[in-house]
C-alpha cells in the first residue's frame, strides 16, 4: 500500500465522533468499536506496521506488551493526564515516545472537585433521595443539616494545574486554601494559599481535604492520615482510588470522625466497595470528572496533536 494510503494510527479505545473523524481523515486511522486489550493492540501493530497507537486503560501496555511491539511503533499516545495504566519507563527505554493530555482535563476536573466538595458538605445525595422517594415531611431547624463551605479551610494535596484551579474556585466560595506539594509554588501561583511542607502538617488544618496527585504505590491516606484531619472534616477524591486505604476511609466515615466524603475514584474500579454505597454521608460518582463533551473532545485532539508532531519528525507537545 502506498505510504499516503497506509494506516498510520490505531485508536484502541472508544473516542468521541469528532476525534474519530479527524483521526480517519488525517491518519487513515483504524478506530476500534470497543476498547481493545493490550495483546490485541500488539497483534494489530504487528499486522499493519502502524507507527502510532492511542491507548486507554484496558489497552494499557506493560513491559511484555511493549517488548512485543514491532519497531515501527514510534509513539504511544494517551488521551488522559494519567499514565499509571502503562509501563512508561520501558517504552521510553525502547525509544518509543509516550504522551499524555495534562491540560485538557484541568478545568472540568476542578469543576467536578468543587461539585464533590459542595455535595458532600451539603448532603446532596441524601436530599436527592428524599425528593425521589416523594418527600412528604417538612424538616425543622435542627434536622438534616449540612456544613457550609464558606470560611472553611480547604486542604489541597498536590498544587499542580488541577490543584491550583480548584484553589481558585474554592476562594470564590469564600474558602481559605492551604496546600502541600513537593516544593512550594511561587507567590503568584499561590495566590494567597498557605503552604505546608508535609502532608502531616497540612492535615490538622484541613476542614475539607481534596487530593490532586498521581496514584500508584502505597496509599497516601491511611488510618493515621485520616486521624490527623480535624473531627467533622470532609474528604474528597477525584484523583486516583489507589491513593486511599478504603478500610481506613470507611472507618473514619462510620465512626463520625469525618462528616462526609465525595468520591469519584476507587481502588477496584469499576467495582466500588459496596460498603460505601450503603453510607448516607458519601456522595458517589463513577469516575466522571472529565466527562463533558468539550473536555473529552479536547483530550482526543491533544493526543492527535502529539501524534501529528511525532510522525512529522517534531518533538511531542506533551511528552511524559
* Short-list 281, 241, 232, CA closest to 260: 281
> Active-site residue among 14, 161, 184, 287?
287
Distances (CA, A) of 253 to 31, 95, 202: 43, 47, 20
Among 64, 15, 17, CA closest to 38: 64
CA Rg, the chain, in Å? 22
Active site residue 251: no
Lookup: cell for 314: 517534531
Task: Choose, from 269, 271, 275, 294, the residue flagged as catalytic.
Answer: 269
End-to-end CA distance of the chain: 32
Strands, E assignment, the chain? 9-11, 30-31, 52-55, 75-78, 97-99, 153-157, 176-180, 194-195, 208-211, 233-237, 258-263, 282-284
269 has catalytic annotation: yes
- Sequence-distant (6+) residues with CB within 8 A of 278 are none
Length of the chain as a residue count: 320
Q: Is the peptide bond before 270 cis (omega within 30 degrees of 0)?
A: yes
**Burial of 18 (C-beta count, 10 Å sphere; 0-12/13-18/19+):** middle
| Per annotation, catalytic residue among 22, 240, 246, 296 | 240
Residue 81 · residue 105 · CB < 8 Å: yes
Burial of residue 2, with CB atoms counted within 10 A of its CB: 0-12 exposed, 13-18 middle, 19 or more buried:
exposed
**Integer Cα distance of 156 and 160 in angstroms:** 10
- As annotated, the active-site residues are 240, 269, 287
Amino acid at each position: 500500500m502506498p505510504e499516503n494510503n497506509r494506516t498510520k494510527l490505531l485508536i484502541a479505545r472508544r473516542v468521541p465522533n469528532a476525534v474519530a473523524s479527524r483521526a480517519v481523515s488525517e491518519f487513515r486511522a483504524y478506530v476500534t468499536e470497543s476498547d481493545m486489550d493490550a495483546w490485541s493492540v500488539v497483534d494489530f501493530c504487528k499486522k499493519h506496521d502502524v507507527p502510532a497507537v492511542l491507548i486507554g486503560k484496558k489497552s494499557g501496555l506493560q513491559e511484555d506488551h511493549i517488548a512485543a511491539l514491532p519497531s515501527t511503533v514510534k509513539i504511544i499516545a494517551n488521551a488522559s493526564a494519567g499514565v499509571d495504566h502503562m509501563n512508561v519507563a520501558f517504552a521510553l527505554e525502547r525509544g518509543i515516545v509516550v504522551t499524555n493530555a495534562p491540560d485538557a482535563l484541568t478545568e472540568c476536573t476542578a469543576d467536578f472537585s468543587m461539585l464533590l466538595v459542595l455535595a458532600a458538605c451539603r448532603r446532596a445525595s441524601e436530599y436527592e433521595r428524599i425528593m425521589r422517594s416523594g418527600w412528604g415531611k417538612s424538616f425543622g431547624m435542627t434536622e438534616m443539616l449540612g456544613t457550609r463551605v464558606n470560611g472553611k479551610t480547604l486542604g489541597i494535596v498536590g498544587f499542580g494545574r488541577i490543584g491550583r484551579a480548584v484553589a481558585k474556585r474554592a476562594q470564590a466560595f469564600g474558602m481559605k486554601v492551604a496546600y502541600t506539594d513537593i516544593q512550594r509554588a511561587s507567590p503568584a501561583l499561590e495566590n494567597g494559599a498557605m503552604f505546608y511542607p508535609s502532608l502531616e502538617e497540612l492535615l490538622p488544618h484541613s476542614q475539607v481535604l481534596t487530593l490532586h496527585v498521581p496514584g500508584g504505590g502505597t496509599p497516601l491516606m491511611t488510618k493515621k492520615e485520616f486521624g490527623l484531619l480535624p473531627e467533622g472534616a470532609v474528604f474528597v477524591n477525584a484523583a486516583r482510588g489507589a491513593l486511599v486505604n478504603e478500610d481506613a476511609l470507611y472507618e473514619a466515615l462510620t465512626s463520625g470522625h469525618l462528616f462526609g466524603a465525595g468520591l469519584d475514584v476507587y481502588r477496584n474500579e469499576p467495582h466500588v466497595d459496596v460498603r460505601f454505597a450503603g453510607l448516607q454521608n458519601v456522595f458517589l460518582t463513577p469516575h466522571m470528572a472529565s466527562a463533558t463533551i468539550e473536555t473529552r473532545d479536547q483530550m482526543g485532539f491533544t493526543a492527535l496533536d502529539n501524534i501529528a508532531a511525532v510522525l512529522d519528525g517534531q518533538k511531542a507537545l506533551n511528552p511524559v
